[in-house]
Amino acid sequence: MSSSGEEQKKKKKSKKRKSNQSSVDFVIVSQDNEVKEVVKKKKDPNKGKDSASSRKGQEDKDDEKKRKENATREDEPKRRKREDQKLKGEDEPSTKKVRASGVTRLFVGNLPWSIDDRGLEKALECALPVIKYITDKDTKQFYGSAFVECADTAAAEHAVALSGTKVGGRQIKVAFAPPRPGDVWPPKNHRPKAQRPADGTNKLFLGNVAYEAEEEDVLAHFSTVAPDGFKAIRWLTDKHSGDFRGSGFLEFYSVEQADAAINTLNGTDLKGRPIRLDYA
């Protein structure tokens, strides 16, 4: 036999041995090196099931991970809304229309940016002795919401019933908002509305002035009722830092000028903020 034929036989035997290695458990050989019996390995009925089970378990884990990621993405707008409310420093109360015995403090939301005291009272159809507009702590930008105090519970209940009505093209939200433990209400800087003196007065309180407003801006704003300017202006400042507090007192040249300012300019916009005028 040629050498190439022997090599082919050896390769075949080698392949046979290799193929048998995976299926033969042991071989019984006689003294003459003759194979008497070949014992093959028993097939494991569970073989392959573990790997399939493992794959299924991994697939279940992957599916669960995807579900959680999708849920997180869906909850993102809600999370951002909660963060915005924290930045405002106030938690928006529920707008559910319920009777709250004795509660006269309300939350009003989704207000138009141009709303003023008179517009708010008109929208809620009642007098509001206290109004606190919610603004950004740093920029002082109006958030479109406020806390208000009604004169009595009947007025408060009537105002809450108006939730959902449109003001300036927007559906407002109105809800009872009793002060929480630790809340300071009315606010410390609140100044109750004054009644016009019987003989009138030429002095007015000016509040909610934008911090970037200059005296020239105020003079120009009041030029329609006080063309010659004011007799005197006194701005209020912090007694420690000297910083402008956004308010002051205006002295007109006549009672008629002061009355005209109250009637025509109260709540008008000055540098992005509605000013508040009251009798001093």
Highest average pLDDT, of 58-72, 155-169, 180-194, comes from 155-169
CB < 8 Å & 24+ apart, contacts of 168-173: 168/111, 168/112, 168/114, 168/115, 168/119, 169/112, 170/110, 170/111, 170/112, 171/110, 172/108, 172/109, 172/110, 172/111, 172/123, 173/95, 173/107, 173/108, 173/109, 173/110
For residue 105, what pLDDT is reported? 93
Q: What is the rounded average pLDDT of the residues 85-100?
A: 49
Q: What is the rounded average pLDDT of the residues 252-265?
A: 93
Q: What is the rounded average pLDDT of the residues 196-206?
A: 89
For residues 37 and 219, the model is more confident at: 219
For residue 123, what pLDDT is reported? 92
Whether 264 and 224 have beta carbons less than 8 Å apart is answered as: yes
Q: Which of 166, 36, 153 is nearest to 102 (CA)?
A: 153
Helix (H) or strand (E) holding 180: none
Res. 143: pLDDT tops 50: yes
Whether 277 and 206 have beta carbons less than 8 Å apart is answered as: yes
* Mean pLDDT, rounded, of the chain: 77
Global confidence as pTM: 0.43
- N-term to C-term CA, the chain: 129
List domains and CATH numbers for the chain: 83-188 (3.30.70.330), 203-279 (3.30.70.330)
Lowest-pLDDT choice from 21-25, 106-110, 198-202, 223-227:
21-25
Q: What is the rounded average pLDDT of the residues 201-221?
A: 90
Res. 20: pLDDT tops 50: no
Residue-by-residue DSSP string for 259-279: HHHHHHHTT-EETTEE-EEEE
- pLDDT-based confidence at residue 93 (cuts at 50, 70, 90): low
For residue 174, what pLDDT is reported? 95
Q: Which of 259, 119, 140, 265 is nearest to 201 (CA)?
A: 259
- pLDDT-based confidence at residue 227 (cuts at 50, 70, 90): very high
Q: How many residues does the chain have?
A: 280
Res. 229: pLDDT tops 80: yes
Cα angle 95-100-101, degrees, rounded to a multiple of 5:
170
Res. 189: pLDDT tops 50: yes
Res. 64: pLDDT tops 70: yes
For residue 87, what pLDDT is reported? 47
For residue 224, what pLDDT is reported? 94
- Encode pLDDT of 75-90 as tens digits: 665 655 555 555 444 4
Res. 108: pLDDT tops 90: yes
Distances (CA, A) of 139 to 87, 143, 169, 211, 273: 12, 11, 26, 10, 12
For residue 167, what pLDDT is reported? 92
How many Å apart are CA 126 and CA 150, to the nearest integer? Answer: 7
